[in-house]
Chain A
């Protein structure tokens, strides 16, 4: 009843696994090559430069070997050390604030309620728009003339109207930076935490209720521990992001007033692009790489045992 259709031309190579493997290598090759080109190549070039004197402003001068002098200059420079401290502080405050607020947001979005889709979309929009938008938006909001903040505050207390925020005063400048950054990034963290929440089966909570747990106890002993992997992921992304913050600084304050809002990333940009100093800049950026890898490493080490 069957028609025999044995096609001789379909003989496969002795080992199909080997053919698959070859195909596989070909398929991942573009990815690996492209990534290496944009990460490894600049990295090594940069490393090389950091041990040399390379400055385009002094175009004619040869690029000579200077050993570690770029690095020692950096460690001894107050500009760099203050930038480091500032960046670290900013990162710490931002990350803690963002994660706590995002957790609340995620808990809220986890509940089923009418209009949840709309709220979710609304919350996502700040994250999706470019940092430029976020920065400009808050620059507008905090402008003494065109901004909402001053208008609003002015309605409460006339002395508060027309306050200058950005570049007026260190604390106020940081406040604006902080708000612009948090406004944009809390949604991202919230989404990650929300995903983590949704993986927790609801029976866990029901069992806890039957066992007699209150809302707070249930949160502390069920939600938080079960959310740990998500929190770790959120922390690692957010920490690295906050540490490398650049866009909002450039756009809002340009590092000012003075140099009081210069972060490491900003310093990096200034050295490379403004000062065209690729040797010293090399040292700064290598340090950035080291620190970020260290931070990532610490998190991964902490994250590994629980997965």
Chain B
């Protein structure tokens, strides 16, 4: 039974590079906590500090009540699943799984029993006598998991364990891992760069960027009430559409380029009336104005030039352009996986020439590329952010969970 507590954790490499800054996190016993963020955000470094594979520059880490800063990995009672599995190539699967127990000088029968049990849970009983080189990717991954679960540790640490699997296998293993963790009830810290994994697996998700924790909350809260622009753009796929807009003087609507959108009552704070603001609309909150039900008033629509329509069978993704300047963070670009990031430095917001917006519409929509289309905006799900600080204005973030960019 153990919680894992990180207090004011920081990591500075010799040479001055700062990988993690003032990280505070508490993982309850049995909780599945996901650390997510783009590459270089410090999530793996934080994990390795918990494991004892990286020295802690600042702060304390506690496992249970014990401060573990100075303890070797082997004394921290943690188990780790590595990204490339790190299976011992010269040992059989059974020996791989039982290695830690061998080191602790358990009796052969005990080891045998525990290894068999772990193999049973993971469906590896047939492979026990084989060597890693003879196994498939999925099997190797399960051996890596077996190695961890056989120890009954205080906490599991997982470093992107699914990133080397193909897409179908990944979906399968996601559920497997979640199921096993629930069954074992051990505190788990799971690092990934894939926000889908984060959302589907975590009890809580901690979004990190440039070494700083952006927001930590249940997945749904991150989706509904992102604390800042980065989290808003990072969570959800396709990413949220973000625009530069100006709030009207009375705060009742916002101007995006040459179009206007009604704002819900009280959405824009008083001090932002008449000011610049960043507007966020998720693709799933845009509907085909024609087929998606009643057309609605002008103030609840966006019109744009359609570039491409991607038909996915269950829905259509419409890529379109409107005349409002778009906002993208440098990491948001890499998160979208769209080739080269522009010359925005990390942490800056900027307008880009890419003004592709995305809408998710029903498969029955008749929108076609090259035409103008109208989208109904679900105003209740609009997001507003302050351009200077990037913090969320509406919906208001939960207190104590937000962080400035």
Q: Does chain A touch chain B in the assembled complex, meaning CB atoms less than 8 Å apart?
A: yes
Q: Indicate whether A22 reaches chain B with its CB closer than 8 angstroms.
A: no
Taking a contact as CB atoms closer than 8 A, the residue among A1, A6, A7, A10 that contacts B1 in the complex is A1
Please pick, from A4, A7, A10, A12, the residue contacting B154 in the complex, using a CB distance under 8 A.
A4
Contacts of B70 in A (CB 8 A): 11-12
Q: Which of B169-185 contact A (CB under 8 A)?
A: 184-185
B183 nearest CB across to chain A (Å): 11
Q: Do the beta carbons of B55 and A2 come within 8 Å of each other?
A: no
Q: Which of A1-24 contact B (CB under 8 A)?
A: 1-7, 10-12, 15-17
- Taken together as a complex, chains A and B put the C-alpha atoms of A11 and B69 apart, in Å, by 10
Nearest CB on A from B110, distance (A): 13
B:235-259 near A, CB below 8 Å: none
Binds A, one of B43-51, B72-80, B264-272, B376-384: B72-80
Contact: A2 with B66, CB < 8 Å?
no
Tell me which residues across on chain A come within 8 A of B75, comparing CB atoms: 5-7, 10
| B295 contacts chain A at the CB level, 8 A cutoff | no
Q: A15-B55, A17-B55 are in contact. Are A5 and B71 (CB under 8 A)?
A: no
> Quick check: B77 and A10 within 8 Å, CB to CB?
no
Q: Shortest beta-carbon distance, A118 to chain B, in Å?
A: 27
Q: Are B2 and A2 in contact (CB under 8 A)?
A: yes
Q: Are A5 and B77 in contact (CB under 8 A)?
A: yes
**Does the CB pair B66–A6 fall under 8 Å?**
yes
B152 CB contacts on chain A under 8 angstroms:
1-3
Mark each residue of chain A from 117 to 140: 1 if its CB lies under 8 Å from any CB of chain B, else 0.
000000000000000000000000
Q: How large is the interface on B (under 10, 10 to 19, 20 to 34, 35 or more residues)?
A: 10 to 19
**A interface, how many residues as a size bin?**
10 to 19
Assess whether B277 is interfacial by the CB under 8 Å rule.
Answer: no
Q: In the complex, what distance in Å separates the CA atom of A4 from the CA atom of B184?
A: 16
Contacts of A4 in B (CB 8 A): 2, 64, 66, 77, 154
Whether a CB of chain A sits under 8 angstroms from the CB of B153 is yes
Closest to A13 in B: B70
What chain A residues lie within 8 Å of B153 (beta carbons)?
Answer: 2
A2 and B70 alpha carbons, distance in the complex (Å): 21
B186 touches A2 (CB 8 A): yes
Q: Which residue of A2, A10, A16 is within 8 Å of B74 (Cβ)?
A: A10
Residues of B within 8 A of A16 (CB): 55
Cα-based distance from A5 to B77 in the complex (angstroms): 6
Distance A10 CA – B76 CA, assembled complex (angstroms): 10
Known: A1-B1, A1-B185, A15-B55. A6 touches B74 (CB 8 A): no
Residues of the B chain whose Cβ atoms lie less than 8 Å from the Cβ of A10 = 71-72, 74-75
Segment 345-404 of B: residues with Cβ below 8 Å from A: none
Q: What residue of chain B has the Cβ atom nearest to residue A8's Cβ?
A: B75
Residues of A within 8 Å of B64, CB to CB, are: 4
The interface residues of chain B lying within 8 Å CB-to-CB of A12 are 70-72
* 0/1 interface trace, chain A 146-180, chain B, CB 8 Å (1 if under): 00000000000000000000000000000000000
Is A2 within 8 A of B72, CB to CB? no
Report A-chain residues with C-beta under 8 Å of the C-beta of B76: 6
CB pair B71 A2 closer than 8 Å: no
Q: Report the bound CA distance from A12 to B69 in whole Å.
A: 10
Taken together as a complex, chains A and B put the C-alpha atoms of A2 and B74 apart, in Å, by 14
Min Cβ gap A113→B in Å is: 28
B104 shortest CB reach to chain A, Å: 8
Across the A-B interface, the 10 shortest Cβ-Cβ residue pairs:
A2-B154, A10-B75, A10-B72, A7-B75, A6-B66, A2-B152, A11-B70, A12-B72, A5-B77, A6-B75
**Given A1-B185, A2-B154, A10-B72, 18 more pairs with CB closer than 8 A:** A1-B1, A1-B184, A2-B1, A2-B2, A2-B77, A3-B152, A4-B2, A4-B64, A4-B66, A4-B154, A5-B75, A5-B77, A6-B77, A12-B70, A12-B71, A15-B55, A16-B55, A17-B55
14 inter-chain pairs at a CB distance below 8 angstroms, sorted by A residue, are A1-B185, A1-B186, A2-B1, A3-B152, A4-B64, A6-B75, A6-B77, A10-B72, A10-B74, A11-B71, A12-B70, A15-B55, A16-B55, A17-B55
